[in-house]
């Protein structure tokens, strides 16, 4: 098995997981090529969050194996702190430090964890903020920002670590509708930089637009995996057809 092959960033092989008696992942396998965006969609409880969280070992697994850029994530000797510095995770909750200004929220980990000089970290943070349309917010406290702005700060914070992989788990689902677009625009811009991304989303049109591949999950299994134009036009399973008609009718 050639898991070190340079073109695969994330390789999930035969992963299963239980929470108590509940089987939440059943023999899940998927390979995510470098510089691609994979969209994970499916009904609530499908196991999408659990799956993407296993990729940076926020969840353990019962069986199978996961590789990120050639590193076996759940192997006993793996340095998880190091691995997690290379994987950016953005979820519904922004979890910014309320007592730190935006700039300091972003530079904290690069300085403390990666040992970056303060000036260099701040320069990069300002550039990231500017690229996300937040150039004037560096000196502001997060509580003074809208949800969409806070989420973009959270994205900047993740990017400040120069991750190899970005994981988004429903990054817009806690936002008011009028704030969703600015966050989706930020993610779209990021996708164009060629970083590898795993994106869990209920935004079907967005997934169709930016993903290279759609992975449809239900009941802990991957039921379909296809390019978006194929998946959305011709879902193969009844479960996906039902899901899509419910989602696209909303
Ligand atoms: N810590 C936990 N303990 C027990 N059960 C859990 C835990 N986390 C998740 N589950 C269960 O695992 C299943 C999969 O949950 P998961 O959060 O991965 O689903 P999801 O596809 O992300 O759903 P949603 O679209 O609602 O976010 C669900 O049945 C959920 O109730
Ligand atoms: Mg979820």
Q: Choose the residue to mutate in 39, 48, 58, 207 for probing ligand 1, maximizing ligand atoms within 8 Å of C-beta.
A: 48
Rounded distance between C-alpha atoms, residue 6 and residue 33, angstroms: 9
Distance between the two ends of the chain, CA-based, in angstroms?
Answer: 43
Q: Which atom of ligand 1 is nearest to the CA of 200?
A: 22
User: Closest by alpha carbon to 10, among 165, 133, 155, 153?
Assistant: 165
**Residue 116: inside a domain:** yes
User: Closest by alpha carbon to 87, among 63, 105, 113?
Assistant: 113
Rounded distance between C-alpha atoms, residue 212 and residue 45, angstroms: 24
Question: In this structure, what is the dihedral angle of CA atoms 115, 37, 239, 217, given to the nearest 10 degrees?
Answer: -30
What pTM was computed for the model?
0.94
Query: Between the CA of residue 177 and those of 79, 149, 202, 220, 245, what are the distances in Å?
Result: 39, 13, 13, 29, 21
**Residue 154: inside a domain:** yes
What was the pLDDT predicted at 221?
A: 98
Strands 71-72 and 87-90: unpaired
**Ligand 2 centroid, distance to 6 Cα (angstroms):** 30
What was the pLDDT predicted at 250?
A: 64
What was the pLDDT predicted at 1?
A: 45
**Residue 61: inside a domain:** no
**Residue 47: inside a domain:** no
Number of domains composing the chain: 1
What was the pLDDT predicted at 3?
A: 47
What was the pLDDT predicted at 94?
A: 85
Residues of the chain with pLDDT below 50 are 1-3
Query: Between the CA of residue 6 and those of 40, 68, 189, 244, what are the distances in Å?
Result: 23, 11, 24, 34
Do 11 and 66 meet the contact criterion of CB atoms below 8 Å apart?
Answer: yes
- Of all ligands present, the nearest one to the C-alpha of 25 is 1
What was the pLDDT predicted at 249?
A: 74
Rounded distance between C-alpha atoms, residue 26 and residue 15, angstroms: 7
**Residue 80: inside a domain:** no
What was the pLDDT predicted at 5?
A: 56
**Residue 40: inside a domain:** no
**Residue 120: inside a domain:** yes
Within 91-219, strands assigned E span 165-169, 196-200, 213-218
What was the pLDDT predicted at 229?
A: 97
What was the pLDDT predicted at 4?
A: 52
Nearest CA to ligand 1 atom 6: 19
In this structure, the residues whose C-beta lies within 6 A of any atom of ligand 1 are 19, 22, 24, 42, 44-50
Query: In which domain, by residue range, is 109 found?
Result: 96-162
**Residue 101: inside a domain:** yes
């Amino acid at each position: 098995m050639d898991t070190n092959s340079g073109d695969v960033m994330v390789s999930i092989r035969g992963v299963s997981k239980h929470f108590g008696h509940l089987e939440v992942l059943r023999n899940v396998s998927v390979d995510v090529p470098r510089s691609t965006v994979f969209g994970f969609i499916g009904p609530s409880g499908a196991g999408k969050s659990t799956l993407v969280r296993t990729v940076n070992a926020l969840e353990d697994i019962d069986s199978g194996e996961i590789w990120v850029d050639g590193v076996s994530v759940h192997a006993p000797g793996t340095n998880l702190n190091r691995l997690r510095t290379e994987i950016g995770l953005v979820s519904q909750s922004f979890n910014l430090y309320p007592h730190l200004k935006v700039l300091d929220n972003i530079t904290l980990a690069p300085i403390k964890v990666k040992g970056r000089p303060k000036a260099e970290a701040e320069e990069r943070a300002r550039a990231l903020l500017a690229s996300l349309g937040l150039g004037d917010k560096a000196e502001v406290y997060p509580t003074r920002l809208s949800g969409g702005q806070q989420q973009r700060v959270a994205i900047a914070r993740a990017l400040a670590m120069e991750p190899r992989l970005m994981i988004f788990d429903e990054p817009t689902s806690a936002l008011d509708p009028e704030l969703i677009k600015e966050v989706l625009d930020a993610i779209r811009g990021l996708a164009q930089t060629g970083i590898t991304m795993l994106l869990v989303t209920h935004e079907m049109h967005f997934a169709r637009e930016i993903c290279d591949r759609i992975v449809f999950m239900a009941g802990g299994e991957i039921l379909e995996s296809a390019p978006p134009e194929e998946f959305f036009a011709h879902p193969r399973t009844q479960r996906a057809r039902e899901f899509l008609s419910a989602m696209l009718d909303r």
